[in-house]
Chain A
Amino acid sequence: MSESDPDMMKPETMKSYIWLQTSDGSVQQVEQEVAMFCPMICQEVIHNGAGSSESHAISLPQRVNPDMLSLILDYCRFHQVPGRSNKERKSYDEKFMRMDTKRLCELTSAADSLQLKPLVDITSRALARIIEGKSPEEIRDIFHLPDDLTEEEKLEPLKNTMDDPRIRLLNRLYAKKRKELKERERLKNVEIGEHVDERSVDDLLSFINSRDPKTSKGKKKSKKKKDQKIDSSNDREGPEDFHDKESHDLHSKQQGVEETGSSMREVPEDDIFMPKVAGSEDGDIDDEIDPAMKEMLDREVEDFARRLNSNWVCSLGQERRPVHFSINGNRTTRQHIGQSSGHN
């Protein structure tokens, strides 16, 4: 305890105080039981012995300004009292949360930096309630966020971005095969993509919805991770369902091909990476032209698939069955291992 300022100290109270320093440099002292409610402060006191005097005040994270600190301390002061009922606490929390969005954000940030989980919880819920039902435009408006997505990117919300280079390569190989179908769909895509909705979410789903029901099971959108277009080009129905599910299971972990806004409308994105494929592609996208090349590619794919399988089974547990990709086109290999789980 500090001996420097006798006015602030009441010798008869026997309370101990912790000294805290906020981002603007000002120092204040707080009752120990109140301050220790914050895990971060608690750690500092116990592990580093800080906060015991004005000169050794605990330096709070930068996001905690004096205004926020006083709010947080009010919260701590109320909740650290053990005798309150749940109902009381809940109703205090409700009232506490009534503030404008900006302050709510600052409070969330400050509480997070002090690791005060219950407060982060209620502030996050309050913010989530604000976001409820809003369109992306409105959300950007409320939180003053810059709009850094291109139009096309806004229409691809569910692509996955896992960064496994082997999977990426596989994806490229598959994307190449999908090229012929993409060409056909491109015109249709451009039409649909032109629709401008106020609510982008509607856009997303209506975009997904409005796909041409050509492919198996009406699976429309040729997302990078799906290879159903390949299957459908061979007109196989029954085993396709199972295969789709399998490859989808796999693909759901795979990275979507490049994020260069390349939905269905742009064609050549894979060509850039073709040289990396063993057996140097000459950028030719038509499979049928070079069967020998195709054979080699097929072998590559098989090899990768086998290697992936071993990793896959280890990392995903026994729910996953080893998957063998069927190679479409000239060959019709179908090598499923493992049982179907009563599927379709």
Chain B
Amino acid sequence: MRTEEKEEEEEQWPGSAHEILLLVLPYLHSLFELLSMTAVSRSLRDAIRAETALWSKVVVEPPLSSRLTDDILWDITSKSAGKLNTLILRQCLRITDKGLRRVVDANPLIRKIIVPGCTELTPEGIIGCVESLSKDNHNVETLHINGVHRFTKDHLSALSTYIPHEGAIDVEVCPKCDQVMMIPSCSRVSCNRGRRHERKCKGCWFCVPRCMECSVCLGSDTEIQEAACGGDSLCLECWLVLPKCRFCNKPYCTSHSSLRHDVVTNDSSAQPMFECQACHYRAGKNPYDAFDYQI
């Protein structure tokens, strides 16, 4: 029966799937999908190779990031015929200053360089790239360098001569600890009154306690809710909507939600339950013993 159905479905499938996929090509998320598509069929492969517009924005994310070397990056960016516009390399650990500079030199029209977590890059290399791009009345619009190590205030001020626009660079100097860090914005009403620069909670992640989910600032006057992932704090609104451990009633924040120990029940209509790690490992012991939940 199944093969019959499948055959029927195949017949009804639009024969123009190829044209449709051609329409979809500009919307593909990253290099991974683009390369995947080149291996799908001959016509797609030819279309992708020939179209330089598809290569004017290069996005490399994990899992490809760890495999991207300078040479491969060069190969890929050369497909834009000098018209590379946006370069997004997330956690590409093998990209060096030399490799990046080579790409930048060959593509003077780059407007966005987003290289978070590319730890082999150095501030000097990046400043060199931005400098090279800022010639001839051209401007870099966006530069994200959080995760590139050893940035100092001086580096930042050098960069801001080339990129004067506020918010173009993702890191700033934290007013409280004087380090170059990302400073999250705050959704609290009182913090958004007046000018952005003057809000009290303007500080990096280490200096200002924030909710893990919505990064609203948590002060002494607001109730700070604890998360099961030890050390993370939540605001009341976010705490309310997250599912909680069935013993200690603490939620995991969404980025740590994989730490849940799900409780399997046969009853499908019941709410899915989980235990946090601490409670799970304590299972079997007397739950009424004094137990310090503050891990």
Bound-state Cα–Cα, A33 to B265, Å: 55
Whether A158 contacts B39 in the complex (CB less than 8 A), given A102-B14, A205-B72, comes out as: no
Q: Are A249 and B24 in contact (CB under 8 A)?
A: no
The answer for the CA separation of A125 and B24 in the assembled complex, in Å, is: 7
The B interface, classified by DSSP as helix, strand, loop or mixed, is helix
Bound Cα distance from A159 to B50, whole angstroms: 10
Contact between A219 and B71, CB atoms less than 8 A apart: yes
With an 8 A cutoff between CB atoms, is B75 at the interface? yes
Smallest beta-carbon distance A134→chain B, Å: 6
**Any B CB within 8 A of the CB of A146:** yes
Taken together as a complex, chains A and B put the C-alpha atoms of A206 and B71 apart, in Å, by 13
Residue in chain A with minimal CB distance to B21: A143
CB-contact partner of A158 in B13, B24, B70, B75, under 8 A: B75
Instruction: Please state if B39 and A249 are interface contacts (CB–CB under 8 Å).
Output: no
**B288 contacts A by Cβ under 8 Å:** no
Contact of B17 with A128 in the complex, beta carbons under 8 Å: no
**With an 8 A cutoff between CB atoms, is A24 at the interface?**
no
In the docked arrangement, what's the CA distance between A223 and B49, Å?
A: 14
**Interface SS, A side:** helix
Which residues on the A side are within 8 Å of B79 (C-beta)? 158, 160, 252
A220 sits at the interface (CB 8 A) = yes
**Chain A interface: which size bin?**
35 or more
Cα-based distance from A116 to B189 in the complex (angstroms): 41
Q: Which residue of A lies closest to B26 (CB)?
A: A124
User: Count the B residues whose beta carbon is within 8 Å of the partner chain — how many?
Assistant: 52
Q: How far is the CB of B121 from chain A (nearest CB, A)?
A: 16
Q: Are B46 and A161 in contact (CB under 8 A)?
A: yes
Chain B residue nearest in CB terms to A135: B36
| Chain B hits for A160, CB < 8 A | 49, 79
Q: A124-B23, A125-B27, A319-B82 are in contact. Are A341 and B105 (CB under 8 A)?
A: yes
- Chain B CB count within 10 A is highest, among A201, A253, A320, for A201
Q: Which residues of B contact A220 (CB under 8 A)?
A: 71
The answer to whether B33 touches A131 (Cβ under 8 A) is: yes
Q: CB of B266 within 8 A of chain A?
A: no
Residues 332-344 of chain A: 1 if any B CB is under 8 Å from the residue's CB, otherwise 0? 0000000001111
CB contact between A161 and one of B12, B17, B50, B71 (< 8 Å): that residue: B50
Cβ contacts under 8 Å, B12 to chain A: 102
Asked if A204 lies at the interface with its beta carbon under 8 angstroms from chain B, I say yes
Q: Which of A40-48, A104-112, A168-176 contacts B (4 or more CB under 8 A)?
A: A104-112
A204 near B78: Cβ-Cβ < 8 Å: no
- In the complex, the answer to whether A144 meets B17 with C-beta atoms within 8 Å is yes
How many Å from the CB of B241 to the closest CB on chain A?
A: 20
Q: Measured between C-beta atoms, what is the minimum distance from A337 to chain B in Å?
A: 17
Using CB atoms, name the residue of chain B closest to A205: B67
Contact with B along A82-103 (1 / 0, CB 8 A): 0000000000000000000010
B residues 228-269 near A (Cβ < 8 Å) are none
The 8 A CB mask of A44-81 against B (1 = contact, 0 = none) is: 00000000000000000001000000000000000000
- Does B154 have its Cβ within 8 Å of any Cβ on chain A? no
Chain B CB within 8 A of A328 CB: no
- Seen from chain B, the residues whose Cβ lies within 8 Å of a Cβ on chain A are 9-10, 12-14, 16-21, 23-24, 26-29, 32-33, 35-42, 45-46, 49-50, 64, 67-72, 74-76, 78-79, 81-82, 98, 101-102, 105-106, 108, 132
7 A-B contact pairs sorted by A residue (CB < 8 Å): A102-B13, A105-B13, A124-B24, A147-B41, A160-B79, A161-B50, A253-B81
Residues of chain A touching chain B, judged by Cβ–Cβ distance below 8 Å, are 63, 102, 105-106, 108-109, 112, 120, 124-125, 127-129, 131-136, 139-140, 143-149, 153-154, 157-162, 200-202, 204-206, 208-209, 217-220, 223, 245, 248-249, 252-253, 316, 319-320, 341-344
